[in-house]
Structure 1
Amino acid sequence: MSTPILAARGLVVAYSGRTAVDRVDLNVRHAELVALVGPNGAGKSSLLAALAGLGPHTGSVLRCGCTGAQPTPGIAYVPQSPDLRTAFPLSAAQVVATGSLDARRWWRRPDAAQRAAAADAMERLDVADLAHRPFADLSGGQARRVLLARALAQGPKLLLLDEPHAGLDVEAATTLNTALAALAQAGTAVLASVHDLDLVRGAFTRTIVLDRRILADGPTSELLPAVGSLAPWLVA
């Protein structure tokens, strides 16, 4: 068995005395496409933030071979937060290009390779036509795809996504799934919270069911039929 690119042991996330994530153990390996499903309030967002190294938690997390509470190089994380648009007084292309900048040399302009990575990511997410549009003027769905392209431009080894399909129409969701499949084929691991079980069936090879704790974890083709009777609960 290969070494996991992401491993959590006894992970607990609590806010003001309320436990949002309770003693979670999980592994994600290279090139896996893993869906995280569960009802609203199940702790999916809290878990993803903790796994990304953002937000308070106890327990241990190994990210790309590294431990510690800080964000780790090689990990790209896209939260579910429409308020991010107000934080970027830039064009869509400039926002995507920031994904490939070296945080230690943030003042430098993107070089040719970084600009090429940004352009490729925008093509993958079908947002190249938005390149010169002000990011703050984009619709919610457009802004989400641009932020996803920004994550792709980083060339991540591990991609953590919180409801990446939210606000996307069927065509855009299909484009995203195609991009995720291509990333996995190239070796990138993806862990994404997903609300729609049809999207899980069509794109993810493994599924984790979460309701504060992990209730089930296995191949999507085997797991979803077994929990089909819980579908209304899962997407509630």
Structure 2
Amino acid sequence: MTVNKKISDFVVTEVIPLESFLLSNDFSTLIEKLDNLREAVKKKGWWTPYLPKNDGGMGLSLTQFAEISEILGTSPLGHYVFNCQAPDIGNIELLRGHGSPDQKSTFLEPLVGGNIRSCFAMTEPGKPGSNPTWMDTTAILDGNEYIINGRKWFTSAADGASYCIVMAVTDSKSKDKYGRASMFIVTSDNPGYEIVRNISVMGDSGKGYFSHAEVVFQDCRVPASSLLGNVGSGFILA
């Protein structure tokens, strides 16, 4: 039996039956059951299938992962159980490619291990998230800190996330519109970071991983070491 067939059978017999609990309850009631499935996936060697084997993954090519992803996509819980769900999978790639050693040990390793969740904040009210050159949120350097101010929304999975990677303008006067923004890591316990609400989508505001939040950064101070990548590289990284 091929790995794809084994994974398909696992999704059908173990993951899909949990969907009825998701439809009748909120995400928090499923966490224990999902954690058990995640442990089972780890033991089978299917965890984070997109990562190299040296990093704890299956070492699949993009095409091979696409085939697995198609199988996991048959359930809204599939990618989560295998720790390859958005926005975490994108944040993992950002941190693997551009994070400092400290950022990798603090934010990447527990994310890869499935011990925490993260979120990504770019889209703003009145601004299309498809255009990362158009945003009002700013990050101003003040000594050895950045002060972030702005409002984001449809920040998927912010509810319960341990940290947020946020796009903010660091040089509004730059003639290169693609070099105006940078990315920063903001922990959810930062006093300048607030989840205002989970936005209702088709009548359901959701909860936990299955939610899209409006978040505010108000005089949100972060150390300069929270910068992800280089100053002005936000568009390229996005």
TM-score over 0.5 (shorter chain): no
> What TM-score does the superposition give when structure 1 sets the normalisation length?
0.29
By relative contact order (CA 8 Å, sep 6+), the higher-ranking structure is: 1
